[in-house]
């Protein structure tokens, strides 16, 4: 912590002030995952709406996380947020699309998120970096599974989306406690 410049310390102090936002969004993602696992969605329309809500929520979550990011990470969060929101809007506008289209959108959706998490984990290499790395790797694997299984059922798509929400919740809670820990170190 001694090697941080004054600007870095000021940024870190500002970013850590919002650790509780990540905790709340993490808990909300876990709640969404729990609800998705409980639902019995048997139509493409219902699956598309569920996916659209999760995708747009993930995009908004990226924009919420921007103040806690520095430099190029802000730009990456904007790109990821826009991609998620575009995927959600596409799901809403094309709800009667085939399962193949939904699985393809979801595969890209979670693949980009997994790659982002792996890069972030490898660049940060602090406290719980390995947990973020594990979540990113699992997201990438889930993305490849979704990409290779285009003729799935509505139940499988709901499971994929629920697992993504579960991973997202775990990631947000990890980030929250990392920021809280950093805040305590700065104090």
Domain assignments of the chain as residue spans, ordered by start: 6-186
pLDDT digits (tens, 9 = 90+) for 15-58: 677 788 889 989 988 998 888 777 666 666 777 777 788 889 88
| b/e per residue 102-122 (b: at least 16 CB within 10 A) | bbebbbebbbbbbebbbebbe
According to the model, what pLDDT value does residue 173 have?
Answer: 92
Q: Which of 57, 78, 7 is nearest to 169 (CA)?
A: 57
Quote the distance between the C-alpha of residue 152 and its chain's center.
23
C-beta separation of 175 from 25 below 8 A? no
According to the model, what pLDDT value does residue 1 have?
Answer: 46
- Please work out, in degrees rounded to the nearest 5, the angle formed at the alpha carbon of residue 55 by the alpha carbons of 53 and 60: 95
C-beta separation of 88 from 104 below 8 A? no
Helix (H) or strand (E) holding 98: none
Q: Is the pTM here over 0.75, yes or no?
A: no
pLDDT digits (tens, 9 = 90+) for 97-117: 656 677 777 788 788 889 988
Q: Where are the alpha helices (H) located in the chain, listed in sequence order?
A: 6-16, 19-38, 44-65, 72-93, 99-124, 129-148, 154-186
């Amino acid at each position: 912590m001694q090697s941080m410049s004054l600007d870095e310390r000021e940024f870190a102090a500002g970013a850590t002030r919002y650790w509780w936002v990540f905790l709340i969004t993490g808990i909300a993602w876990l709640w969404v995952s729990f609800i998705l696992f409980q639902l019995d969605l048997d139509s493409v329309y219902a699956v598309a709406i569920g996916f659209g809500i999760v995708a747009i929520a993930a995009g908004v979550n990226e924009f919420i996380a921007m103040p806690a990011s520095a430099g190029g990470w802000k730009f990456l969060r904007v790109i990821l947020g826009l991609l998620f929101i575009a995927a959600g809007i596409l799901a809403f506008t094309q709800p009667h699309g085939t399962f193949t289209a939904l699985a393809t959108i979801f595969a890209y959706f979670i693949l980009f998120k997994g790659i982002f998490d792996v890069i972030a984990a490898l660049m940060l290499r602090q406290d719980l970096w390995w947990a973020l790395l594990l979540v990113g790797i699992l997201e990438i694997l889930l993305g490849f599974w979704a990409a290779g299984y285009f003729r799935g059922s509505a139940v499988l798509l709901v499971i994929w989306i629920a697992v993504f929400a579960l991973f997202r919740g775990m990631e947000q809670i990890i980030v929250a406690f990392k920021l809280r820990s950093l805040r305590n170190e700065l104090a």
